[in-house]
Structure 1
Amino acid sequence: MRPEPEDLGGGIWSVPVPIPGNPLAYTLVYALETPDGPVLIDAGWHHDDAWAALRDGLASFGLDVAGVRGVVVTHFHPDHAGLAGRVREASGAWIAMHRADAEIVQMFHDAVATDAGRTWEGGALRRAGASAGELADFAEREHVEPPARPDRELADGDLVDLPGRKLRVIWTPGHSPGHICLHLEDGDRIFTGDHVLPRITPHIGLYPYDLPDVDPLGDFLGSLGRVAAMTVGEVLPAHQYRFTGLTERAQAIIGHHEGRLEEITALLSARPGTLWELTAGLSWRHPWESMELGSRRMAAGEAAAHLRTLERRGVARRDGDGDPLRFALR
């Protein structure tokens, strides 16, 4: 069930914004008080129900969405950035995100303008080893519109434009290249977006599956180590609920992924297997046979990210450069 909006004290409010049809159920949008109007951390999914929840949730604290000063987006994913453009239209607020995610948002807009996105994703599935039937199903899928382009780009260590407060950017790549956490230095709190959640682990995927010169899981593990070294009283994530014990939770997530790396290593052998075959051999919340194509696509992205880290560690190797992608034990 979606919780009620909540006054967290210290000039911070939490507004749960629904994500229609998604098991995550809602995004926790946070509003921070400033003399010039509230600044939001994330905005929620672009949907009329989500907009009504955001608008009415702010109003329950006497805040008007038309008075929002700015929106800081922790990362470009639609359940975080989707409504940022609508907030800007209603209030004239600025939108800020890390420059690495700003580049991806621009790339998405360019892909929509040329209708290249569907071709690109279909080609990635083909290279992974998806069947002809799965590729046909993919061609029928509706795609999510890209989020609004930001007005401001952030970098690691920046202070957000938050009059009277100190909200510092911590670049935590992994879940997205430009994911950021935000440390409220004057309030002993950290907003972690999807980087550190209390019970679940965020999706870490490699897209395209053979994108060169990047290691999203390696980046994520390094980012987790960075925040694990911080001393912060309360953690305010974008999903589920607030918690304490940032160090312990970050270390537990690192342990989860190390276990996943061991599981993939156990599937590798001298005989190369396709990315799709290796992904199907892993344990998932739902059996591979019953997964919808969208879930299989994300699962393959996660497997590809783990395989990239295993390549960097000298455990796995890519077998040739042809289609489909194949991997073997080094």
Structure 2
Amino acid sequence: MTRESGARPGGPPVTGHGGGVWSIKVPIPDNPLGFTLVHLLDTDGGPVLIDTGWDDPASWSTLVAGLGACGVAVEDVTGVVITHHHPDHHGLSARVREASGAWIAMHEADAAVVRRTRSTPAEHWYGYMAAKLTAAGAPAGHVAPLLRAAADGRPRKLPGLDPALPDRSITPGELLDLPGRRLRAIWTPGHTPGHVCLHLEEDHPAGLPGNGRLFSGDHLLPGITPHIGLYEDPDDDTVTDPLSDYLDSLERVGRLGPAEVLPAHQRAFTGAPARVRELLAHHEDRLTGLLALLSEPLTPWRLAERMEWNRPWADIPAGSRSIAVSEAEAHVRHLVKLGRAEAAAGSDPVTYVAV
């Protein structure tokens, strides 16, 4: 994700949003995002969580304490609705289910990723990542640790490689089965193929004008542009266009016009249509900037080196550089789809140039 302005806000670890909705700041260890906002929704069938946070002892303790501050024991939780499969959202789902017997719901596109992730040997993941980065022009020194890990058959150390299997599928456009509440799933692919926002179709408790409230996951955030990279999956070679998915999903959410957005990071905010316009403009500016960079043939790695990030390239750690290259590739793929860039014939590793 690219931070656009300001440090993350402070405030209490638990916030009441009215109308039977709370948020709990669950920490993400060693991550500049700081925390995931796990939302608690009161229903006639018992409390339901929207996302769960990172699988870490301190995160688990914070979640349990936060639920207690809301008058809820983790054993009382009846369901978990996951906006997307990333480990800072889905990481603690298995522990919540083990403690409470709660069901877990997820969009099928992300559930398919979870199933493939669980069944894929760790060395296959390492090898896949090394091959992808090599094809993108990454230097040998960057790829070497992944090749060593693949050759050594190292244990599954990457976060999110053993995510909980969901029990229920989230169907886009339909209300979730939550007694006493009207929570509708809005499919918003881009950040992941199965990302969903959740529209609470109820009057705002403070009377704010607009169309209910939106639990936006990572799709719509007040001061961050979510990471839009290629959908990484060693067992699926479908050629996708995540940036196109994201831009289309943004416009869908903008038309919804919620009174308030309850995202998974930073803070609750209003003015969703204006924020959508900002993000659309941001990506158009980024695409324009990439076309200027592609006046000469560049590999995705060299392109990522020249792109603007929230810190200088030299200060970006290796793992984050891999994520940045994936984002560069997603933007280039979108430009190729639009007919504004193309792969240079015969280049290896592949280079792209504006047309």
TM-score normalised by the chain length of structure 2? 0.88
Pick one of 35, 58, 75 that aligns with 1:49. Answer: 58
Whether 2:115 is the aligned partner of 1:106: answer yes
Partner of 2:277: 251
Distance in structure 2 (CA, Å) of the matches to 1:99 and 1:75? 10
One-letter identity of the residue aligned with 1:254? L
Partner of 2:227: 203
CA-CA distance at 1:325 after TM superposition: 2.4
Pick one of 166, 173, 183 that aligns with 2:189. Answer: 173
Distance in structure 2 (CA, Å) of the matches to 1:146 and 1:2? 32
Task: Point out where structure 2 has 5 or more consecutive residues left out of the alignment.
Answer: 1-9, 150-156, 204-211
1:2 and 1:16 in contact (8 A); partners too: no
Pick one of 128, 142, 160 that aligns with 2:176. Answer: 160
CA-CA distance at 1:2 after TM superposition: 6.1
Distance in structure 1 (CA, Å) of the matches to 2:13 and 2:231? 36
Distance in structure 1 (CA, Å) of the matches to 2:263 and 2:255? 17
CA shift digits 1:44-66 (9 cap, x unpaired): 00001111111110111210111
Distance in structure 1 (CA, Å) of the matches to 2:230 and 2:71? 42
CA-CA distance at 1:211 after TM superposition: 5.4
CA-CA distance at 1:9 after TM superposition: 1.3
One-letter identity of the residue aligned with 1:118? Y
Partner of 1:190: 214
CA shift digits 1:90-128 (9 cap, x unpaired): 00001011100001111111113x631111111111111
Partner of 2:167: 151
Pick one of 241, 245, 248 that aligns with 2:267. Answer: 241
1:197 and 1:239 in contact (8 A); partners too: yes
1:12 and 1:30 in contact (8 A); partners too: yes
Partner of 1:37: 46
Whether 2:291 is the aligned partner of 1:265: answer yes
Whether 2:48 is the aligned partner of 1:24: answer no
Distance in structure 1 (CA, Å) of the matches to 2:232 and 2:107? 21
1:137 and 1:293 in contact (8 A); partners too: no
TM-score normalised by the chain length of structure 1? 0.95
Task: Point out where structure 1 has 5 or more consecutive residues left out of the alignment.
Answer: none
Whether 2:89 is the aligned partner of 1:72: answer no
CA-CA distance at 1:193 after TM superposition: 0.4
CA-CA distance at 1:159 after TM superposition: 1.2
Sequence identity percentage: 49
CA shift digits 1:269-288 (9 cap, x unpaired): 3x532111111111222222
One-letter identity of the residue aligned with 1:125? L
Distance in structure 2 (CA, Å) of the matches to 1:274 and 1:160? 44
Whether 2:324 is the aligned partner of 1:315: answer no
Q: Which runs of 4+ in 1 moved over 2 A?
A: 1-4, 137-142, 207-213, 319-323
2:343 and 2:353 in contact (8 A); partners too: yes
Distance in structure 2 (CA, Å) of the matches to 1:73 and 1:321? 43
- Cα RMSD of the aligned pairs, angstroms, is 1.8
CA-CA distance at 1:155 after TM superposition: 2.0
Partner of 2:92: 83
1:35 and 1:163 in contact (8 A); partners too: yes
2:342 and 2:352 in contact (8 A); partners too: yes
Higher mean Cα deviation, 146-155 or 293-302? 146-155
One-letter identity of the residue aligned with 2:289? E
Partner of 1:274: 299
Pick one of 209, 212, 216 that aligns with 2:242. Answer: 216
2:192 and 2:231 in contact (8 A); partners too: no
Distance in structure 2 (CA, Å) of the matches to 1:8 and 1:46? 25
1:43 and 1:84 in contact (8 A); partners too: yes
Return closer, same or farther for 1:208/1:71 CA change in 2, 3 Å cut-off.
Answer: closer
Whether 2:147 is the aligned partner of 1:122: answer no
Higher mean Cα deviation, 27-36 or 193-202? 27-36
Partner of 2:4: none
